[in-house]
Amino acid sequence: MTTQQPPVLPPEILRIREAALNALQELEPAGAPRSDAEGRGLMLSSRTNGGRSLPAYYLVYFLFIDLLGFPSLGQWEKTAWTVPVRYRGRLYGIEHRKMGLGVFAPNLDPTARMSGTPDEQAEEDARAIAALITKAVSITEPYFQWRAEQAVSTSDLNVVNKSDGLFDRYEYFRNRFRTLSDEAEQRKAERNVEKRTLSDGTVITSGSSPSFALRREAKWNAQAAIEAFFSWTEHAFIHLAILQSKLLSGDDVARLAESDWKAKFKAALDVAETQTKLHYDSLLDLRAQVRNFVAHGAFGKRGEAFSFHSGAGAAPVILTNNQRHKFSLTGRPAFDERLAIAEIESFLQHLWSGPRAPARHHVFSRLPSILTYVGDGTYARAMYSEDEMKNFVEHLSGQFDRAADMDW
C-alpha cells in the first residue's frame, strides 16, 4: 500500500481540506487488515449497485489521494487504483477498474475463491458512501480549480487532439459540394414543366430547373466546408506548433488557444517564407469574408447591408467594419465558393510539405500532444522524417491502447 503526500497547500485550500474531511464523516482510511480474511477480501471484491453514482473518477482520485492523502493500493490487474476505506468500521474499496469507478464490497468468506454478490448491508453502505463522496467533491471545487492552475503552469500535460474529427467534417461538406456541383452540371439542360388548370379553365404553365436547386445546395455545402476548414485550423495549428517544439507548457497552449487565427497560423507556419505568405494572405482574406457573410450576419458576401435609391437605380451600401468609415459603395469582390475550396486544397498540400510532412501522421492519429515530449526532445526526433514519426505514432498508440485496457 502506498501513501501519496498531499501537495503543499495555501491556507485557504487547507480550510477546504478540513471541510472535505468533515463532510466524509464516518468514511476513513481502512488502515492495516484486521484479519486474514480482510487481507485477501479486497482481491475478491465485487461492484455494488449503490456505488454507481460516484462523481468522475479523476475528481475522486484527486479528493482522496491527492488532497486528503488516503493510502492506495496502486495498479494491479484491470485496476488503475484502489483506496481501501472503512465506513462505520466496515471495509470497502473505492476502485477505478476497466469498467469504471465504483464502491466494491470485499468477500470476507475465508474459504472463498471468487467474488460474491454484495449483500443488502453492503448496498446500503455503498449508497451512503457515494453520497458522502459526492458532497465532499462539491465542497472541494476550489481545490480542483487551484490544482488545475498548478498543473497548467507545467509541461506535465496532454493536449487533446480532435483534429481528425474536425477535418472529417470539412471533407464531408467539401465532397457534398463537389457531388452536387457535378450533378448540377450534368442536369443543366433539364427542365421540369408543370401545367395547372384553374377553375375558370385557364391553363398555367410553370417550369423549374433541377440544376438551379442543386447549385444552391452545393453553395451551402461549400460555405459549410469553408467554416469547417477554419475550425479545423484553429485546432490543428496548435498541435502543429507543439510538434515543432514552439509551445512548452500549458500556459503557452492556453495563450495561443485564446489568440486569434492569425497568431495560430504564425505559430505553426513561417510567414516569412514566400509561398506560405501567399497562402496566408489568401486565407486571411477568405476568412474575413466568410466571417462577415456567415458568422456576423453582414447580409451579402461583400457586406452589402443596404441599398439606396439613386439615378443609377438601387445602389448597394457596404458595411466596411472600419470604425472611421463604416460605409462604402466599394468593397472586396464576393468570394467564389469553387475558388475558395480550390485555395484550401492548395494550402493543405503546402501545409504537409517539406519539414512539416511528418507532423501530419501525428495530427491525424487522434493521439494527444504531450508537452513533456517537447522538453525532452522526443518530438524533435520524431519530426526528423516521416518514417520516424510513423514508428513513434505506432509505438505510442500501442501504449495508449494498453493503458485503456488497463494492461499494466
Asked whether residue 7 carries a pLDDT value surpassing 80, the answer given is: no
162 shares a domain with 51: no
Contact 236, 265 (CB under 8 A): no
252 shares a domain with 340: yes
Identify the H or E element spanning 127.
helix 120-139
* Residue 92 domain-assigned (yes or no): yes
Strand partners for 104: 47, 93
273 shares a domain with 320: yes
Question: Cα-atom radius of gyration of the chain, to the nearest Å?
Answer: 31
Q: Which residue has the higher pLDDT, 61 or 302?
A: 61
215 shares a domain with 103: no
243 shares a domain with 126: no
The pLDDT-based confidence of 310 (bands split at 50, 70, 90) is low
* Residue 2 domain-assigned (yes or no): no
The pLDDT-based confidence of 221 (bands split at 50, 70, 90) is very high
185 shares a domain with 42: no
* Residue 234 domain-assigned (yes or no): yes
In the chain, the percentage of residues whose pLDDT exceeds 90 is 60
CA separation for the pair 294, 134 (Å, rounded) = 44
Predicted pLDDT at 320 = 54
184 shares a domain with 38: no
For residues 123-152, give the mean pLDDT: 93
**Residues 328-355: pLDDT tens digits?**
545 555 568 899 999 999 999 999 999 9
- Retrieve residue 377's grid coordinates: 526532445
CA separation for the pair 260, 281 (Å, rounded) = 15
CA dihedral over 27, 31, 37, 43, signed as positive or negative: positive
CA separation for the pair 373, 392 (Å, rounded) = 12
Contact 29, 85 (CB under 8 A): yes
CA separation for the pair 340, 173 (Å, rounded) = 13
Predicted pLDDT at 323 = 47
Asked whether residue 43 carries a pLDDT value surpassing 90, the answer given is: no
For residues 112-141, give the mean pLDDT: 91
Predicted pLDDT at 312 = 58
Number of domains the chain is built from:
2
The pLDDT-based confidence of 326 (bands split at 50, 70, 90) is low
The pLDDT-based confidence of 62 (bands split at 50, 70, 90) is very high
Domain final residue pick, 152, 183, 213: 152
181 shares a domain with 104: no
* Residue 5 domain-assigned (yes or no): no
Asked whether residue 171 carries a pLDDT value surpassing 70, the answer given is: yes
Average pLDDT of the chain, as a whole number: 86
Length of the chain, please?
408
271 shares a domain with 377: yes
* Residue 1 domain-assigned (yes or no): no
For residues 226-237, give the mean pLDDT: 96
Contact 123, 49 (CB under 8 A): yes
Domain hosting 106: range is 11-152
Identify the H or E element spanning 61.
helix 57-61
Predicted pLDDT at 317 = 57
* Residue 6 domain-assigned (yes or no): no
In the chain, the percentage of residues whose pLDDT exceeds 70 is 86
Q: What's CA 330's distance to the chain center, in Å?
A: 41
Asked whether residue 76 carries a pLDDT value surpassing 90, the answer given is: no
87 shares a domain with 26: yes
Predicted pLDDT at 99 = 84
Asked whether residue 202 carries a pLDDT value surpassing 90, the answer given is: no
Q: Which residue has the higher pLDDT, 190 or 311?
A: 190
> Which among 363, 403, 364 has a CA at the least distance from the CA of 379?
363
pTM: 0.77
For residues 205-223, give the mean pLDDT: 87
162 shares a domain with 93: no
Query: What secondary structure letter does DSSP report for 32?
Result: S
DSSP string covering 151-216, please? HHTSS--EE---HHHHHHHHHHHHHHHHHHHHHHHHTTT--EEEEEE-TTS-EEEEEE-HHHHHHH
162 shares a domain with 86: no
* Residue 3 domain-assigned (yes or no): no
